[in-house]
Amino acid sequence: MKSHNKDVINYAVIRFVPYADAGEFVNVGVVAFSPITGKLYHKLETKKFKRVTGFFPELSAKAYTTWVKSYDDELTQIKKSFTHDGLDYFLNEQQTIFKSLVSPKEGVFQFSQIATAMCKDAGEKVEGLFKYYVLRGYTKGKKYIEERITQTLKIEFERLKILQNFKQDYTVGNDDYHVKMAFYNPLKNQALKPFDLDKKDKSSIYNHGDAWVTKVKRLKKNGFLPDEVAFTVKASNDKKLIPACKEIMIGLEDEGVQIIKLHDVDMFTEENKRQLVKFVS
């Protein structure tokens, strides 16, 4: 058996795609293969399902957990065949099996493109990738949420090949009064701001929301508000908090701000993408 101080893994993010025609997905796991040791690793989210059923509200929790537990068992069985530590005549066969596993195909579980990472411990690396691609969807915090929306907007702008049109983290206003906008297009005098209203209580929603309604009003009063402004908003799904979120969004709309209401901060639905394209066009 060979000894390895460093390892390399090829990995892919596991995506849950219950409706292939819509093309929408949620990251639910990671699968990885070490071409050095010949071992297969995987980790699936089999317990937390609110993010999945929130993104696909017509899908029952039972349906998701049944699918994911069955697929977890399937990957565990496949993993058992990856047992020959570093024996070259097995590695090529195992690499072929891994590539076939993550290749594009029909099914509710699909995969991202294969990526490669250096690591000291492959198991720990897979845990880290799982936390980054899957568990971050459960993380709260105003600044972090808005940073993630910013990153998702950048990805969409890159996809649309228009990212170069925007100045990022741009100051709108003058020395006497100014605010930061995440994206600003000087050619169209157009700005976008990620906005987190997914708070734990009404007071937090009002404090953050009212502050920005006031900022928009002051920019408008002083002639600094861009011609077109959109807030990409992550609002609360809590029935008790929804009215407060709506009140803030209406307040922004009254000042001429377009609201793009997001379901998820890490990926845009097809409707969100259409709204974004319409705004920047």
Which neighbouring-strand residues pair with 7? 119
7-16 and 26-33 strand pairing: antiparallel
Residue 137 pLDDT: 47
Residue 193 pLDDT: 97
261: number of Cβ within 10 Å: 18
* DSSP output for 4-37: -SSEEEEEEEEEE-S-TTTT--EEEEEEEE-TTT
> In terms of DSSP H, where are the helices of the chain?
50-55, 61-79, 88-101, 122-133, 142-160, 202-221, 242-254, 270-280
Give the span between the Cα atoms of 197 and 207, in whole angstroms.
Answer: 10
For the chain of 281 residues, list the mean pLDDT of each consecutive stretch of 10: 70 87 80 90 87 78 91 91 61 86 89 86 91 65 74 89 94 92 96 94 91 94 96 94 96 97 87 94 91
> Domain extents for the chain?
7-137, 142-280
Residue 139 pLDDT: 47
Residue 140 pLDDT: 46
Read off the tokens for 131: 């936390």
Cβ neighbours of residue 37 under 8 Å, at least 6 residues apart?
A: 2, 4, 7, 85, 86, 122
The CATH code of the domain at 142-280 is 3.40.50
Residue 104 pLDDT: 87
* Measured CA distances, 182 to 10, 194, 223 (Å): 34, 7, 19
